[in-house]
C-alpha cells in the first residue's frame, strides 16, 4: 500500500509544503511572503466582465487589481453581459501566457474586490493530509530541498533502469521514455516494464512540477500492450481526477492524456525570479550553518543580484541567528553560485 507523508517548512521569505509518496516527493507547494492571493485557487471575489465571446463560449473578466481571468460559458449558466459585476471563484491559477480560470458564483455589485481569500499553504496542506500528522521539524526542510531539486530536473531515472525526460512547451508537456541500459534478455519485456514504470513515475513527477494540460508520452519500443498500459495510466493518474482523460495508444507509439491544471506550475515560481529563488536558498544555507556552529561568524557569498534580493530578509535572519553574518556580493558570479563560510 502506498504511503504519503506531509511536511511543512516555514522558512524566511517563503513557506514550502511537501507531500511524499513512498519516500519520494510527489507535491511541492510554495508560498512566498507578500505574494498576491487574490487570484489563487479558492479565492472568491467580485470581477467585472470585460468581453463576452459567444463563439468561443468564453467571458473575459478583470479581477481585483486588474488581473485577467476567463470564465467558460455553459448552456445552463445564467446569461452574462459585458460590464456586469459577478462573483467568481478561482478554479485554476494563472500561468505563463495564460489567464486564471474562474467559475461563476452569481451576480454581484460594485468594483472588483476580494471577498474571501484563498486558503493559505498550511491550510491547503492540512486539507491534503486529512488526519495524517504534519511534520514541521528539520525533516521538513530536508524534504522541501529534495523536492525542489527534483522538480528542477528534466531527466529522471526510472526504478529498474531507463529514464523519462519531461519538457513543457506552450502547447503541451512532452514525456520521452528511454529504456537506456535497463537489464533483461527479453527486449520486449524490458520495454514493456520501462513503459509501465514511466507512467507511474511521470504521474508523480507531473504533480511535483505542477504540470498538466495536454500530456504526450513517446513510449519506448513498438507493438505495445495497449490494454495494460491504459490500465496502468488510469491507476497512476487516478488521484488527479476528476478531469483526467486518456486516449488509446496511437499508431506512432504515443499516448495522449489531459490532466487538470489547478495551481500555477511550481517551475514557474522557481524560475520566474531566479535572484529571489537563490536568495532564499542562501538564507536557508546560512540558517543551517548557523545552527550547526552556534558561535561562528558567517559569510554568505553570492552574485550581486542575489545579495540585493537578500536585503529585505536580513532582519528576519538576525532574529533567528543574531547579528553574526554578512552578505557579500561577488561581481561576475552567476546567480546559482552560493557559498557559505564560518570562522
The full set of domain ranges for the chain reads 4-36+120-142, 44-116, 153-266, 273-342
Q: Per-residue pLDDT averaged across 51-78, rounded?
A: 91
Local confidence band at 36 (pLDDT 50, 70, 90 cut-offs): confident
CA distances from 166 to 90, 199, 254 (A): 27, 12, 14
Per-residue pLDDT tens over the stretch 219-254: 999 888 899 999 999 999 999 999 999 999 999 999
pLDDT at 121: 92
Q: What is the mean pLDDT of the chain?
A: 93
Structure confidence by residue, pLDDT tens digits, 165-215: 999 998 899 999 999 888 877 888 999 999 999 999 999 999 999 999 999
Report the pLDDT averaged over residues 265-275. Answer: 91
Contact 237, 205 (CB under 8 A): no
The yes-or-no verdict on residue 326 having pLDDT over 70 is: yes
For position 95, what pLDDT does the model report? 86
Identify the band that residue 79 occupies on the pLDDT scale cut at 50, 70 and 90.
confident
pLDDT-based confidence at 75, cuts 50/70/90? confident
- Cα 300 from chain centroid (whole Å): 28
The SS3 assignment for 258 reads strand
CATH code, 44-116: 2.40.50.140
Res 1 pLDDT > 70: no
Q: For residues 272 and 281, what is the distance between their CA atoms, to the nearest angstrom?
A: 15
The pTM for the full model equals 0.88
* Chain segment 111-134, per-residue pLDDT in tens: 999 999 898 999 999 999 998 999
Strands (E), the chain: 4-10, 14-21, 24-32, 44-53, 58-62, 68-72, 85-92, 100-107, 113-116, 134-135, 155-157, 163-168, 173-178, 213-218, 245-246, 254-259, 298-302, 325-329, 339-342
pLDDT at position 96 = 84
Give the residue, 25 or 98, on which the prediction is more confident. Answer: 25
Q: What is the CATH number of domain 273-342?
A: 3.30.2320
Secondary structure (3-state) at 293: coil
Residue 98 is predicted with a pLDDT of 87
Tell me the mean pLDDT in the region 268-278. Answer: 92
Amino acid at each position: 500500500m502506498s504511503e504519503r507523508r506531509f511536511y511543512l517548512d516555514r522558512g524566511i521569505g517563503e513557506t514550502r509544503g511537501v507531500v511524499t509518496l513512498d519516500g519520494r516527493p510527489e507535491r511541492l507547494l510554495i508560498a512566498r511572503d507578500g505574494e498576491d492571493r487574490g487570484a489563487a485557487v479558492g479565492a472568491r471575489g467580485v470581477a467585472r466582465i470585460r468581453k463576452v465571446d459567444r463563439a468561443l463560449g468564453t467571458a473575459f473578466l478583470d479581477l481585483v487589481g486588474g488581473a485577467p481571468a476567463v470564465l467558460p460559458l455553459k448552456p445552463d449558466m445564467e446569461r452574462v453581459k459585458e460590464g456586469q459585476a459577478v462573483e467568481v471563484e478561482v478554479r485554476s491559477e494563472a500561468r505563463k501566457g495564460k489567464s486564471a480560470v474562474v467559475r461563476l458564483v452569481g451576480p454581484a455589485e460594485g468594483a472588483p474586490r476580494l471577498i474571501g481569500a484563498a486558503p493559505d499553504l498550511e491550510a491547503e496542506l492540512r486539507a491534503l493530509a486529512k488526519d495524517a500528522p504534519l511534520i514541521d521539524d528539520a525533516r521538513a526542510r530536508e524534504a522541501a530541498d529534495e523536492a525542489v531539486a527534483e522538480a528542477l530536473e528534466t531527466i529522471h531515472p526510472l526504478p529498474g533502469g531507463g529514464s523519462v525526460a519531461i519538457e513543457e512547451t506552450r502547447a503541451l508537456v512532452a514525456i520521452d521514455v528511454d529504456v537506456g541500459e535497463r537489464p533483461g534478455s527479453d527486449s520486449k519485456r524490458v520495454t514493456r516494464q520501462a513503459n509501465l514504470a514511466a507512467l507511474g513515475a511521470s504521474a508523480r513527477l507531473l504533480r511535483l512540477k505542477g504540470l498538466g494540460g495536454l500530456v504526450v508520452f513517446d513510449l519506448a519500443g513498438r507493438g505495445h500492450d495497449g490494454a495494460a498500459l491504459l490500465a496502468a495510466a488510469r491507476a497512476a493518474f487516478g488521484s488527479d481526477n476528476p478531469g483526467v482523460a486518456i486516449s488509446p495508444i496511437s499508431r506512432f507509439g504515443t499516448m495522449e492524456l489531459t490532466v487538470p491544471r489547478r495551481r500555477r506550475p511550481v517551475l514557474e515560481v522557481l524560475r520566474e525570479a531566479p535572484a529571489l529563488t537563490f536568495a532564499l536558498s542562501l538564507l536557508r544555507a546560512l540558517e543551517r550553518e548557523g545552527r550547526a556552529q552556534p558561535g561562528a561568524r558567517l559569510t554568505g557569498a553570492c552574485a550581486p543580484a542575489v545579495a540585493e534580493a537578500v536585503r529585505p530578509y536580513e532582519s528576519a535572519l538576525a532574529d533567528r541567528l543574531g547579528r553574526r553574518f554578512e552578505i557579500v556580493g561577488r561581481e561576475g558570479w552567476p546567480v546559482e553560485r552560493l557559498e557559505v563560510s564560518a570562522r
